[in-house]
Structure formats: C-alpha cells, structure tokens
Chain A
C-alpha cells in the first residue's frame, strides 16, 4: 500500500531513445496525449520506456551465499544515475500491492563506457514478505519499479587518501559499491583503504571471494575479516586495535545499530565525529518503537511542527487539529480521500477495521486512521 512518488529528472544517461530531438517530439506528443503523457503509452509497450514511473528489468539472478542473491537490473529510461554508496528503492508487486524496500547499490555508477547495469544484493529475512520473494521467486525478465537513488552515505569525489570502512553483515553492500568504484579506476597514489568487515563465519560472508581477491590485487586495499562465531561481536575496541589511526581517517560504517552507536560515541569522544559517516540499515520497515499503553502514540506533524499524543481510537486528523495544525480534510468519514497524507514513519490503525498498516511513504487517510505507536506525517 505504500505509494512512492519519485520526482526523477531525466538524467544525462537516461537518453538511450531520447536525445534533444526525441525529447522535443515527446513534448509535442504530450499535447496530443493530454491529460496523459506519451510515457503512459510507452510504458504499456514496455515499462522500461516510461521515464515518469522508472522501472528496471532483472537480467540475471546470482546466488550470493545462503539466503542471498544479487539481482542484476537493467534500468529503463527514467533512471537518473547514482553515486557509490547510495541505496535504491525497489518496488515489488505482491498480490496486486506494491511494496517498496531499499537496497544498497553494489554496482559502481555509470561512467559512460559500460552498459548501464545496476546490482543490488538482497538477503532473505524469513519474517518478511518482500525479501523472500526477491530471493526465491524472482527470475530474469521480472520488471521492478525503481525509485531515485538516495542517501548521503557516499564516496566523495575526489576520494580521500586514507579511509576506514567498518561493516557488519549486509552492511557491506554500500561499501562494496564504493570499493568497486575505487577498483574500476586507478585511485590516486597513496590511497589507503582499510576494510573491517564482520560476518558470522566464512560461509556466510557476503562477497568473500571478491573481497579477498581484490585485497590481493589492489595495493590500496587492506582487508580484515572478523568472524563473530569465533571472535565474538565486532566492537569499537576491536576497531581501535585493528586501526590505530582511526581518528585521522575518513570513516564509513554500516551495520547493526549497536555497533554504529558505539562507534559514534567513540568518534564523538575523540572529537572526530565529522569524519564518521554511518548508514543506518533496516531490513524491516520501521515498526513502532514503544507503543503507548493504550495502543496510541505520539504523532508528529512534520511540516506544521506540531506534536501531540494521540489515543488509539482518535483519528489522526482530530489529534492534529486539536493540537493546532491546519490539515487537509474532506468528508471526515473515510469516503472522499481528501485528507490523504504521506506517512513518514510509524504505523497506523484503520479505525473502521482495526487493521494495523503503514509503511514509509504510504498515503493514509487521516480521518479514519489512528496512531498505532509513535509516528510522523508529512503534513
């Protein structure tokens, strides 16, 4: 039920069938297809031709150890490119309903010389619905919806001379995109990258062969694999021991919240917080952190800057208005959809059916939904 409304500009690389003339033609054709766009017709022929609703086609599915696969995706006309380290919103349709999940891009950005291909690596979460579908029931030819690449966890241009990467589990994925980008072009002399990666054991270490191979070949990369089954959980103390000059390095860290919090505290204490970049990784959509006793929760109306407690049985619209926010409304009984607002995070309860739902980006009717835990609305 989430609705993702990406505003993707046609990027410089999204022009396989365009070019200036073709674009002018499409704009002219838009006069004829109004109120639809030529994209709406092109997308019927092949979803990849639609720039308005970007899509990609899976061209290969590569097993990547137990319960993980790498999806190789050829993006269509609407793809606007990405920077190494960013993540990709992927839209998957399950029983008629589109679900969005984000996965770190592991492919280097297009450099104009190779064919445009994206890769994401998906690890199955047996409790979820989307990742098992992507891992076990996705075959070449499947069309996936793509959102615009996002995230500030990126490799800067030019890349710094000394870098430290600390990753755990599937936290390796955005860093893999960075390493492949560095490996593709000769990095500046004196570049020194230390990667500390933690996995349960060699058998379930993502990209193990590629990482060890790259560390052998590339003079700029040093690799330390940390196996938690034998060496215990990777901690900030481990990092300090393995990389004594950590505070002087530009650092990227991605993994479980516990590890990231510990690193954050250590870097803060050393006055090096500016050099630490972290990516919070979530395999599951956000769940309510601590539902209030009665099932309601604290609601934040982001744009209005209003925050209020909302009981489980009170429509969000009432809560907001009572707290002084000016909100869109219509019939106030769930009929007209005039009050739709995007959910930023948290979950809501449909007061008519009791169903708890909500994913980031989903448009919800504030007049018939109550809070199911703390949440924020883009209102």
Chain B
C-alpha cells in the first residue's frame, strides 16, 4: 500500500452512476422515515448534555473536595464533548433542520467552541465537505500547516510537524478558530482585509465570552474553590480538545485514505462526488458510547456521503454502504479507533520528510 493509495481503475461511468443511484436510494429511505424517534433522540442528547453541564459546574463550585473535582471535571468534559460533536457539529450541518424547530437549527445554533458558528459553517460545511481531500482546494487536508500528501509541496518546517501536530491537540479549539479566519485567503487575494478584520473582531467577541465564562466567572463564583474550579475547566476544555482532534484526524488522515487533484474533480457528477467522499474518508468502529461521544463521526464515510442526514441514522446505514462499496469494488476504510489513530500518526510522520516513503 502506498502512502496515498493510487487511484483504483475507476468505475465505468455507467457503473459509477449505478453506485450513485443506490446511494441516493439509501438517502431517500432515511429522509422518508425521519420522525418522532429521531426528534426524541436529539432532544434527549440535548437534555443529557445540559444536565451534565449544570451538574459539572455545580460540582466544580465545591471542588476543594477532591471527589467533587473529579466528578465535576468528568461531567463537564463529557458535556463539552457532546456539545461539540453530537450537537454542535451535526446541528450546524443542518441534520436536524427538517424538524423545523428554531431551537435546533443550523441557522440559529451557536456552539461552545471558540470559533463562531458562521465561520465554521463556511470552512467546514462548504469548503471541506465540497472539496474533500482535493489537494489545493480542501484546506482541511493538513489545515494549511501539516503536509498530509506527497502532492503537497514540502518545506523544511514540515520536519517539525509531528511535534506541532501533537502540540495542537490540547489547544485544538484555538487552532480551529485561527484556521477558520483563513489568513491565507487574504494573502491569496480571495478575501479582503476588511472582511478579515471583521471576522477577527467577531472571533474576539466570542472568545472573550467563552474565556470569561470558563476561566474567570465560574472560578470566581466558586469562592474558596476558585483554583480547583479553574483547573477543572481548563482540564475539561483540554480533554475535549484532545478528543475532538483525535476524532477529526482519524476521519481523513489514516494511511489508506485517498487524496485527489483538481483535474480529477473537473465536471464531477454527483455519483463521482460520492465516490470521492467514500475514498476520502475513514470510519472507526465502536459501541454506542463511542458513537455518541464522537458525534457519530466514527461513521465519517457515511457522514461525508450524507452530511445532512441525522447522525443517529449513520450506524443503521453503514453496513449497507459497506456492502455497496464491496459490490462495486470501492475501497471502504475502517478499523478500530487505535489502528486508525496509529495510521494517522504514521502519515503525519511520513510526510514530514521530502521523500515519498513507502510503508
């Protein structure tokens, strides 16, 4: 296997269209059966998340007591994880817009993450999901700082990328917030300085609110428990960051995920777009708890095929998508989380050096 597996002999146009039509049918079936149960699911996650957050904050208010610190930090970590992954990410994708509930809607939701929802929706929903793994178009392919494919030009700074990829994990939300500003778009002339400054101000306002809450107000309210409360909040944000970094990196960077060139996506049909999404993403396997805590992004392939289907349905359609891929000879990358994680790091290491290393 090569570092970036070479394109398989492509499906004939007719076979590709068949493959696409079969995926369209899966999508239509899910759309037709969305209903009460799904609505109950997302509302339950919301209630659990807010309950955990409130419980975590209360416990951290008396976190001079070590058991309270442990319980509070654990609850807050899980709450923040749920909020970002199963709620924020998926709601901002419009997965729940069909309910018509303005409280659970992609246009009104704001998440407990530094980057403002608008900025995220642009770089993630639009750029990344449309141009998934297209070198030169998908900025998520290495987030402009990591070299993740041999087609990306090598610079000496990439020798350090294993180090800064690791350092990025605990401060991931800051990384994403700065990344979403698209400073590179200003130097490329794709974005005006004025628009950029407006976005910086927008981010600054949200960052002040976010930091004030976690690092000033709650610790102050905790009185004698101020310091442990602050530590608990820092820990919760840090653990959530490491986890989000893990899940997201495992979705596109394991070794057997393909990249694409801009020429390959010229005049791409919907079926070809599907083919690229399958080959540009990787699943990882896990039980219900892992699924919920990862926002069902262990089903990254299904998510990339159908980014607007409710996340709780990915597990149900995954076996069908996989069988379909087998039938058409389309590679379907999946494995246990640890293996995808190791494979992802292997890729970060391999592309740190200018030579095209084979495993």
A residues with a Cβ closer than 8 A to B are 1-5, 31-32, 34-36, 40-41, 43-44, 52-53, 93, 95-100, 330-331, 333-338, 340, 352-353, 362-363
B209 touches which of A34, A330, A333, A363 (Cβ 8 Å): A34
Whether the pair B129, A331 counts as a contact (CB closer than 8 A) is yes
Q: For A36, what are the chain B residues with a Cβ–Cβ distance below 8 Å?
A: 50, 110, 112
Of B6-14, B30-38, B170-178, B349-357, the stretch lying at the interface with chain A is B30-38
Q: B185 in the interface, Cβ–Cβ < 8 Å?
A: no
Whether the pair B47, A331 counts as a contact (CB closer than 8 A) is no
Q: For A336, what are the chain B residues with a Cβ–Cβ distance below 8 Å?
A: 121, 125-126, 129-130
Q: For A363, what are the chain B residues with a Cβ–Cβ distance below 8 Å?
A: 97, 105, 107
Once the chains are docked, how many angstroms separate the CA of A200 from the CA of B196?
A: 65
Whether the pair A331, B218 counts as a contact (CB closer than 8 A) is no
B101 touches which of A52, A98, A337 (Cβ 8 Å): A98
Q: For B106, what are the chain A residues with a Cβ–Cβ distance below 8 Å?
A: 337, 340
Whether the pair A331, B126 counts as a contact (CB closer than 8 A) is yes
25 contacts between A and B (CB under 8 A): A3-B97, A3-B100, A3-B101, A3-B105, A3-B107, A4-B102, A5-B108, A32-B221, A34-B213, A36-B112, A41-B50, A53-B102, A96-B38, A96-B39, A96-B99, A97-B98, A98-B101, A100-B100, A335-B126, A335-B308, A340-B94, A340-B106, A340-B107, A352-B24, A362-B100
In the complex where A32-B213, A34-B213 touch, is A95 in contact with B125 (Cβ < 8 A)? Answer: no
- The main secondary structure of chain A at its interface with chain B is loop
Once the chains are docked, how many angstroms separate the CA of A337 from the CA of B129?
A: 11
Chain A nearest CB, measured from B268 CB (Å): 10
Lowest 6 A-B CB distances belong to which pairs?
Answer: A96-B39, A336-B125, A337-B94, A98-B100, A35-B110, A336-B126
Q: For B37, what are the chain A residues with a Cβ–Cβ distance below 8 Å?
A: 96
Whether the pair A96, B125 counts as a contact (CB closer than 8 A) is no
Q: For B221, what are the chain A residues with a Cβ–Cβ distance below 8 Å?
A: 32
How large, as a class, is the contact surface on chain B?
35 or more
Once the chains are docked, how many angstroms separate the CA of A99 from the CA of B100?
A: 8
Residues from 14 to 59 in B contacting A, C-beta threshold 8 Å: 24, 28, 31, 34-40, 46-47, 50, 54, 57
Instruction: Output the nearest chain A residue to B206 by Cβ-Cβ distance.
Output: A35
Once the chains are docked, how many angstroms separate the CA of A96 from the CA of B47?
A: 17
Whether the pair B307, A335 counts as a contact (CB closer than 8 A) is yes
Whether the pair A32, B107 counts as a contact (CB closer than 8 A) is no
Chain B nearest CB, measured from A288 CB (Å): 21
Count, A-B residue pairs, CB within 8 A: 116
B100 touches which of A35, A43, A97 (Cβ 8 Å): A97
Q: B252 in the interface, Cβ–Cβ < 8 Å?
A: no
Once the chains are docked, how many angstroms separate the CA of A331 from the CA of B126?
A: 5
Once the chains are docked, how many angstroms separate the CA of A44 from the CA of B51?
A: 9
Whether the pair B35, A95 counts as a contact (CB closer than 8 A) is yes
Once the chains are docked, how many angstroms separate the CA of A255 from the CA of B85?
A: 51
Q: For B212, what are the chain A residues with a Cβ–Cβ distance below 8 Å?
A: 31
Instruction: Output the nearest chain B residue to A41 by Cβ-Cβ distance.
Output: B50
Once the chains are docked, how many angstroms separate the CA of A36 from the CA of B121?
A: 18
Instruction: Output the nearest chain A residue to B42 by Cβ-Cβ distance.
Output: A96
Chain B nearest CB, measured from A133 CB (Å): 13
Once the chains are docked, how many angstroms separate the CA of A354 from the CA of B46?
A: 33
Once the chains are docked, how many angstroms separate the CA of A4 from the CA of B108?
A: 11
In the complex where A96-B34, A330-B126 touch, is A337 in contact with B308 (Cβ < 8 A)? Answer: yes
Q: For A334, what are the chain B residues with a Cβ–Cβ distance below 8 Å?
A: 308
Whether the pair B217, A32 counts as a contact (CB closer than 8 A) is yes
Whether the pair A34, B210 counts as a contact (CB closer than 8 A) is yes
Once the chains are docked, how many angstroms separate the CA of A34 from the CA of B211?
A: 10
Q: For A337, what are the chain B residues with a Cβ–Cβ distance below 8 Å?
A: 93-94, 97, 106-107, 121, 125, 308
Once the chains are docked, how many angstroms separate the CA of A96 from the CA of B210?
A: 32
Whether the pair A335, B209 counts as a contact (CB closer than 8 A) is no
Instruction: Output the nearest chain A residue to B221 by Cβ-Cβ distance.
Output: A32
Once the chains are docked, how many angstroms separate the CA of A36 from the CA of B210?
A: 11
Instruction: Output the nearest chain B residue to A98 by Cβ-Cβ distance.
Output: B100
Q: For B38, what are the chain A residues with a Cβ–Cβ distance below 8 Å?
A: 96
Once the chains are docked, how many angstroms separate the CA of A141 from the CA of B98?
A: 25
In the complex where A31-B212, A97-B100 touch, is A335 in contact with B125 (Cβ < 8 A)? Answer: yes
Once the chains are docked, how many angstroms separate the CA of A353 from the CA of B28?
A: 7
In the complex where A32-B213, A96-B35, A338-B122 touch, is A44 in contact with B307 (Cβ < 8 A)? Answer: no
Extra A-B contacts (7), CB below 8 Å, given A96-B36, A336-B130: A4-B102, A5-B108, A31-B213, A35-B210, A331-B125, A338-B125, A340-B94
Once the chains are docked, how many angstroms separate the CA of A353 from the CA of B29?
A: 11
Q: For A44, what are the chain B residues with a Cβ–Cβ distance below 8 Å?
A: 46-47, 50
Q: B270 in the interface, Cβ–Cβ < 8 Å?
A: yes
Chain A nearest CB, measured from B35 CB (Å): 4
Q: B289 in the interface, Cβ–Cβ < 8 Å?
A: no
Q: For B121, what are the chain A residues with a Cβ–Cβ distance below 8 Å?
A: 336-338
Whether the pair B102, A97 counts as a contact (CB closer than 8 A) is no
Chain B nearest CB, measured from A143 CB (Å): 13
Q: For B270, what are the chain A residues with a Cβ–Cβ distance below 8 Å?
A: 333
A1 touches which of B35, B40, B100, B108 (Cβ 8 Å): B100
Whether the pair A5, B102 counts as a contact (CB closer than 8 A) is yes
Instruction: Output the nearest chain B residue to A39 by Cβ-Cβ distance.
Output: B103
Once the chains are docked, how many angstroms separate the CA of A93 from the CA of B212?
A: 37
Interface mask (B212-230 → A, CB under 8 Å = 1, otherwise 0): 1100011001000000000
Whether the pair A53, B103 counts as a contact (CB closer than 8 A) is yes
Once the chains are docked, how many angstroms separate the CA of A96 from the CA of B31?
A: 12
Q: B249 in the interface, Cβ–Cβ < 8 Å?
A: no
Instruction: Output the nearest chain B residue to A95 by Cβ-Cβ distance.
Output: B35
Interface mask (B78-106 → A, CB under 8 Å = 1, otherwise 0): 00000000000000011001111111011
Chain B nearest CB, measured from A150 CB (Å): 16
Once the chains are docked, how many angstroms separate the CA of A158 from the CA of B312?
A: 56
B218 touches which of A2, A4, A32 (Cβ 8 Å): A32
Chain B nearest CB, measured from A290 CB (Å): 27
